[in-house]
Amino acid sequence: MKIKVLFLLAIAFLISFASFAQRGVRIGYINTEYILQNVPEYQEASNQLDTKVQKWKSEIELRLSKIDKKQKQLDSESVLLTKELIEERQEEIDIEESEILDYQQKRFGPNGDLMIQKRNLMQPIQDQIFTAVQEIATNKKYDFVFDKSADLTMLYSADRFDISEQVLRSITRSSKRRQVQNRQERKAAEEEELIPEINKEQEARQKALDDKKAEREKVIEERRSKQLEAREAKKKAAEEKKKKIMEDWAKAREAKLKERNKTVDSKEEIVSDNAKESDSSNIVTQEKILSPSEAKKKATEEKKKKIDADRKAKLEADKDKTEVGKNLEIDSTKTIEPPKLSDREARNKELEDKKKKILADRKARLEAQKKAKDSIAKAKKNN
């Protein structure tokens, strides 16, 4: 029984092999690079990725140029710097270089952003190519389909075995189909949004939510207005307090100034009294120092000056009387007025004379005091 089964299987295998040999092997190939160049979605995404790559490269070049500039500056200034400063600045430059290398690795490394985004970009297109190749190979009964742009070396390939155009058309059709489907879905969604659905329960719930929201906004607005009023009241109270403090300060300052002026006036009075006392004491001391002959001489001079002053005043009075008589003769009808101006002038002159006399006396006293001191000093020196 077993032998019969094996014999039948061998016959079936030979028959199938013979039929396979009679049909021949169907082989096709694709060019992935050509397909990718003619897919608009891939080209657009690839251009965006190239823009990002250029931006990353320019950023790295800028940072490297800055580091190169810092290194040159350090080399030129190393003669003027200490060893510690040179090491510190060199360490900063090394840290920046390592940061740039890390950034470069992060962007362009094997697991960097560029490779990740390339994989993300290629994956959907590769899936579409694989799906299209499977569909074409199944429908047209291809036994093998190779990729010309892969690592497989193809020394020669006839164009009739190239199914790249068929794959590209399949991808384009599926893409358009998806676009139409997306457009229809979007249109249907818009129409659904335009058609109002009447749901009383939902409307009541929405109305309740709106009422709660309005009530909450009202409470918030009232609270905000109360806070603003309280803030304004506090601000007003603070301004009034500040104003009161300024007024009190101004009053205190004014009182202090008045007190200071009183103190200054009292000090001036004390100083003037002290000056008078010192003058009187100086006069007394000068009179004590003067000898009897000098005192007698001084008294004679004072008496003489007094007589001269009296004589002068008498002459001026006579002169005024004569002038009054002349005026009476010229105009007898006029009323006689006392010579107020001449009396005032005489009084002023008398005061000036007294002042001059006091000054002269003081000068004489000072000279006498000086002479007495000189004589005392000479006497002490002679002894």
Residues 188 and 75 in one domain: yes
Of 179, 194, 209, the last residue of a domain is: 194
Express each pLDDT in 278-325 by its tens digit. Answer: 555 554 444 444 455 666 677 777 777 777 777 777 777 666 656 555
Tell me which residue of 27, 37, 48 sits closest to 171, measured CA to CA.
37
> Residue 3's pLDDT band (boundaries 50, 70, 90)?
low
pLDDT at 321: 57
* In-domain check, residue 169: yes
What is the rounded CA–CA span in Å between residue 100 and residue 64?
8
Average confidence score pLDDT of the chain: 75
* In-domain check, residue 231: no
pLDDT at 272: 57
pLDDT at 219: 84
* In-domain check, residue 141: yes
Residues 30 and 145 in one domain: yes
What the block records as the tokens of 272 is 């003037």
Pairing type for strands 27-30 and 144-147 reads: parallel
The residue segments making up the domain with residue 128 are 21-194
Express each pLDDT in 224-263 by its tens digit. Answer: 888 888 888 888 888 888 888 888 888 888 888 888 777 7
Q: Specify burial of residue 228 (Cβ count, 10 A radius: 0-12, 13-18, 19+).
A: exposed
Of 155, 171, 194, the last residue of a domain is: 194
Q: pTM, whole model, 2 decimals?
A: 0.37
Model confidence at 182: pLDDT above 70: no
pLDDT at 1: 45
* In-domain check, residue 41: yes
Express each pLDDT in 205-226 by its tens digit. Answer: 778 888 888 888 888 888 888 8
Mean pLDDT within 125-133:
84
Model confidence at 366: pLDDT above 90: no
Express each pLDDT in 90-124 by its tens digit. Answer: 999 999 999 999 999 999 988 888 889 888 888 88
Residues 36 and 184 in one domain: yes
- CATH at 116: 3.30.910.20
Say whether 321 sits in a helix, a strand or coil: helix
Task: Decide which of 287 and 200 is more confident.
Answer: 200
Q: How far is CA 20 from CA 12, 36, 149, 170, in A?
A: 12, 35, 30, 29
Of 194, 223, 258, the last residue of a domain is: 194
Residues 186 and 294 in one domain: no
* In-domain check, residue 101: yes
* In-domain check, residue 257: no
* In-domain check, residue 15: no
* In-domain check, residue 351: yes
Residue 138 identity? T
Residues 76 and 183 in one domain: yes
Judge contact between 49 and 117, C-beta under 8 A. Answer: yes
Express each pLDDT in 154-168 by its tens digit. Answer: 667 677 777 778 888
Number of structural domains in the chain: 2
Task: Decide which of 53 and 382 is more confident.
Answer: 53
